[in-house]
Amino acid sequence: MRVLGIDPGSETTGWGVVEGDARRYGLVNYGVVRAPARERFAARLLKISDGIEDVLRKYAPDVCAIEEAFYAVNVKTALKLGQVRGVALLAAERAGLEIHEYSPRLIKQTVVGYGAAEKHQVQEMVRVLLALKRVPEPHDAADALAIAICHLHHAKFAQLTKETPPARAKLESLLAENPRRRVPRS
């Protein structure tokens, strides 16, 4: 499975592509889409959208994993981040990808083992898990790789919860073939 992880940001949106499964995975590539603060916000959103669409065309991921919105003290910042997430979600949906969202705490818990890990701890664990010589920089790209790794670890569980267990499917089949008249309890 090839996963595109996206760490949305209004100035720097990180992306990372990882391929494999929960037991064995490797780096495909990573980077950032920069949208300078001096540009109009709508122009920055367009730049982010174009950048993500380029990544989607170039690396053809199977799935997109993105960080969920978090609560920010500054409402304006939270709204802008939400708009950037919307652009990223739209690009992934337009590409026909399955989209999964993960909270920052779950991502850190999965990758570092501690839900309140610091940026440098996430970067170092991403370096270790992907067997890289240096920590991925900037931290936005490392966060995007962490999101992709998080998805690989949780994808199997998500798939299992979607599927009907064989025993349940067989029971439902038998009940459909031989419906019993149920007597109401008094």
Q: How high is the pLDDT of residue 183?
A: 46
Please tell me the distance from the alpha carbon of residue 31 to that of residue 54, in angstroms, as a whole number: 12
pLDDT band at 7 (very low <50, low <70, confident <90, very high): very high
Q: Is the pLDDT of residue 178 over 90?
A: no
The CATH number of 2-177 is 3.30.420.10
Please tell me the distance from the alpha carbon of residue 74 to that of residue 77, in angstroms, as a whole number: 5
Q: What pLDDT digit, counting tens, does each position of 84-115 carry? A: 999 999 999 999 999 999 999 999 999 999 99
Provide the annotated active-site residues: 7, 67, 140
Classify 79 as helix, strand or coil.
helix
* Domain locations in the chain as residue ranges: 2-177
Which one, of 135, 123, 140, lies nearest residue 35 by Cα? Answer: 140
Q: Is the pLDDT of residue 155 over 50?
A: yes
- For 16-31, b/e burial (b = at least 16 CB within 10 A) is bbbbbeeeebebbebb
